[in-house]
Protein backbone atom coordinates (compact mmCIF):
# COMPACT_ATOMS: atom_id res chain seq x y z
CA UNK A 1 0.00 0.00 0.00
CA UNK A 2 1.47 3.32 -1.03
CA UNK A 3 -0.88 5.57 0.98
CA UNK A 4 -0.37 6.70 4.58
CA UNK A 5 -3.29 5.98 6.90
CA UNK A 6 -3.80 9.73 7.49
CA UNK A 7 -4.46 10.27 3.78
CA UNK A 8 -7.52 8.10 3.32
CA UNK A 9 -10.66 6.91 5.04
CA UNK A 10 -13.45 4.43 4.39
CA UNK A 11 -16.93 5.60 5.37
CA UNK A 12 -20.54 4.82 4.60
CA UNK A 13 -22.08 6.95 1.83
CA UNK A 14 -24.67 9.31 3.31
CA UNK A 15 -28.30 9.17 2.18
CA UNK A 16 -28.11 12.72 0.73
CA UNK A 17 -25.08 11.91 -1.46
CA UNK A 18 -25.40 10.88 -5.09
CA UNK A 19 -25.08 7.17 -5.86
CA UNK A 20 -21.62 6.80 -7.50
CA UNK A 21 -22.81 4.96 -10.61
CA UNK A 22 -19.53 5.68 -12.45
CA UNK A 23 -17.63 3.46 -10.00
CA UNK A 24 -20.43 0.91 -9.60
CA UNK A 25 -20.46 0.42 -13.38
CA UNK A 26 -16.80 -0.65 -13.33
CA UNK A 27 -17.86 -3.81 -11.47
CA UNK A 28 -21.32 -4.37 -12.92
CA UNK A 29 -22.26 -4.12 -16.57
CA UNK A 30 -25.61 -2.29 -16.44
CA UNK A 31 -27.56 0.21 -14.30
CA UNK A 32 -30.46 -2.28 -14.35
CA UNK A 33 -28.32 -4.95 -12.68
CA UNK A 34 -27.11 -2.44 -10.05
CA UNK A 35 -30.65 -1.24 -9.35
CA UNK A 36 -31.64 -4.80 -8.38
CA UNK A 37 -29.58 -4.56 -5.17
CA UNK A 38 -28.51 -0.97 -4.51
CA UNK A 39 -31.63 0.34 -2.71
CA UNK A 40 -31.43 -2.31 0.04
CA UNK A 41 -27.62 -2.26 0.33
CA UNK A 42 -25.04 -0.14 2.14
CA UNK A 43 -22.36 1.69 0.13
CA UNK A 44 -18.90 2.20 1.68
CA UNK A 45 -16.57 4.64 -0.04
CA UNK A 46 -12.79 5.00 0.01
CA UNK A 47 -11.96 8.69 0.10
CA UNK A 48 -8.60 10.30 -0.53
CA UNK A 49 -8.12 14.06 -0.56
CA UNK A 50 -11.93 14.42 -0.28
CA UNK A 51 -12.39 12.48 -3.51
CA UNK A 52 -14.16 9.12 -3.71
CA UNK A 53 -11.86 6.77 -5.64
CA UNK A 54 -13.21 3.34 -4.68
CA UNK A 55 -16.16 1.64 -3.04
CA UNK A 56 -17.80 -1.56 -1.99
CA UNK A 57 -21.45 -2.46 -1.46
CA UNK A 58 -22.76 -4.70 1.32
CA UNK A 59 -26.11 -6.46 1.29
CA UNK A 60 -27.42 -8.39 4.29
CA UNK A 61 -28.72 -11.84 3.23
CA UNK A 62 -29.88 -13.08 6.65
CA UNK A 63 -28.75 -13.01 10.31
CA UNK A 64 -25.57 -14.95 9.55
CA UNK A 65 -24.72 -14.02 5.95
CA UNK A 66 -23.75 -10.78 4.25
CA UNK A 67 -22.55 -10.26 0.68
CA UNK A 68 -20.25 -7.83 -1.14
CA UNK A 69 -22.40 -7.07 -4.20
CA UNK A 70 -19.99 -4.64 -5.85
CA UNK A 71 -16.36 -3.62 -5.35
CA UNK A 72 -14.59 -1.13 -7.58
CA UNK A 73 -11.45 1.02 -7.67
CA UNK A 74 -11.04 3.90 -10.12
CA UNK A 75 -8.88 2.73 -13.06
CA UNK A 76 -5.82 4.88 -12.31
CA UNK A 77 -5.72 3.69 -8.66
CA UNK A 78 -6.00 -0.05 -9.36
CA UNK A 79 -3.14 -2.37 -8.43
CA UNK A 80 -2.07 -0.28 -5.42
CA UNK A 81 -3.65 -2.43 -2.72
CA UNK A 82 -6.94 -0.53 -2.33
CA UNK A 83 -9.02 -3.57 -3.34
CA UNK A 84 -7.35 -5.63 -0.58
CA UNK A 85 -8.00 -2.84 1.93
CA UNK A 86 -11.68 -2.72 0.99
CA UNK A 87 -12.05 -6.50 1.36
CA UNK A 88 -10.44 -6.37 4.83
CA UNK A 89 -12.64 -3.44 5.84
CA UNK A 90 -15.75 -5.35 4.74
CA UNK A 91 -14.63 -8.42 6.73
CA UNK A 92 -14.01 -6.33 9.85
CA UNK A 93 -17.36 -4.54 9.67
CA UNK A 94 -19.22 -7.81 9.07
CA UNK A 95 -17.39 -9.54 11.93
CA UNK A 96 -18.15 -6.67 14.35
CA UNK A 97 -21.82 -6.89 13.42
CA UNK A 98 -21.91 -10.59 14.26
CA UNK A 99 -22.18 -12.10 10.78
CA UNK A 100 -20.67 -15.58 10.33
CA UNK A 101 -20.08 -15.59 6.56
CA UNK A 102 -19.10 -12.98 3.97
CA UNK A 103 -19.87 -13.78 0.32
CA UNK A 104 -18.66 -12.35 -2.98
CA UNK A 105 -19.48 -13.45 -6.53
CA UNK A 106 -17.49 -12.96 -9.71
CA UNK A 107 -17.22 -14.22 -13.28
CA UNK A 108 -15.58 -17.48 -14.27
CA UNK A 109 -13.10 -15.56 -16.48
CA UNK A 110 -12.34 -12.85 -13.89
CA UNK A 111 -8.81 -14.10 -13.15
CA UNK A 112 -7.57 -11.08 -11.17
CA UNK A 113 -10.67 -10.98 -8.97
CA UNK A 114 -10.57 -14.74 -8.31
CA UNK A 115 -6.91 -14.42 -7.31
CA UNK A 116 -7.49 -11.37 -5.09
CA UNK A 117 -10.51 -12.78 -3.27
CA UNK A 118 -8.73 -16.06 -2.51
CA UNK A 119 -5.63 -14.16 -1.38
CA UNK A 120 -7.90 -12.33 1.06
CA UNK A 121 -9.28 -15.51 2.58
CA UNK A 122 -12.35 -16.30 0.45
CA UNK A 123 -12.91 -19.85 -0.80
CA UNK A 124 -14.93 -20.96 -3.81
CA UNK A 125 -18.25 -22.30 -2.58
CA UNK A 126 -20.60 -22.67 -5.55
CA UNK A 127 -21.14 -22.01 -9.24
CA UNK A 128 -24.29 -20.34 -10.54
CA UNK A 129 -24.48 -21.78 -14.05
CA UNK A 130 -25.04 -19.36 -16.97
CA UNK A 131 -25.58 -16.38 -14.64
CA UNK A 132 -23.92 -13.89 -17.01
CA UNK A 133 -25.74 -15.26 -20.04
CA UNK A 134 -29.18 -15.31 -18.41
CA UNK A 135 -29.01 -11.94 -16.59
CA UNK A 136 -27.33 -9.54 -19.02
CA UNK A 137 -28.54 -8.30 -22.41
CA UNK A 138 -25.23 -8.76 -24.25
CA UNK A 139 -22.20 -11.08 -23.94
CA UNK A 140 -19.51 -9.87 -21.51
CA UNK A 141 -15.84 -10.63 -22.17
CA UNK A 142 -12.90 -10.60 -19.74
CA UNK A 143 -9.35 -11.73 -20.47
CA UNK A 144 -10.56 -12.71 -23.95
CA UNK A 145 -13.14 -15.17 -22.59
CA UNK A 146 -16.91 -14.82 -22.44
CA UNK A 147 -18.23 -14.72 -18.88
CA UNK A 148 -20.72 -17.55 -18.39
CA UNK A 149 -20.98 -18.79 -14.84
CA UNK A 150 -20.80 -16.90 -11.55
CA UNK A 151 -18.29 -18.23 -9.04
CA UNK A 152 -19.49 -17.58 -5.48
CA UNK A 153 -16.76 -17.33 -2.87
CA UNK A 154 -17.28 -17.41 0.87
CA UNK A 155 -15.20 -16.28 3.85
CA UNK A 156 -15.83 -17.60 7.35
CA UNK A 157 -15.66 -14.72 9.82
Give contact residues for ligand ACO (rule: CB under 6 A): 26-27, 68, 70-73, 78-84, 104-106, 111-113, 115-116
User: 16 or 89, CB closer to ligand ACO?
Assistant: 89
User: 46 or 157, CB closer to ligand ACO?
Assistant: 46
DSSP-based three-state secondary structure for 154: strand
- CB of residue 142 vs ligand ACO: minimum separation in angstroms? 8
- CB of residue 59 vs ligand ACO: minimum separation in angstroms? 11
**Which residue in 77, 32, 23, 28 sits closest to 55, CA to CA?**
23
- CB of residue 49 vs ligand ACO: minimum separation in angstroms? 17
CB of 107 within 8 A of CB of 124? no
User: 130 or 143, CB closer to ligand ACO?
Assistant: 143
- CB of residue 24 vs ligand ACO: minimum separation in angstroms? 9
Pairing outcome for strands 51-60 and 123-128:
unpaired
CB of 11 within 8 A of CB of 47? yes
CB of 119 within 8 A of CB of 84? yes
Amino acid sequence: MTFNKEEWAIRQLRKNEETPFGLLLLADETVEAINKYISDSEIYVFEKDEKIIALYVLKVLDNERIEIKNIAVEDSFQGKGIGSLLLRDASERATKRGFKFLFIGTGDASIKQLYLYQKEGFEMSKIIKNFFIDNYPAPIYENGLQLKHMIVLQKSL
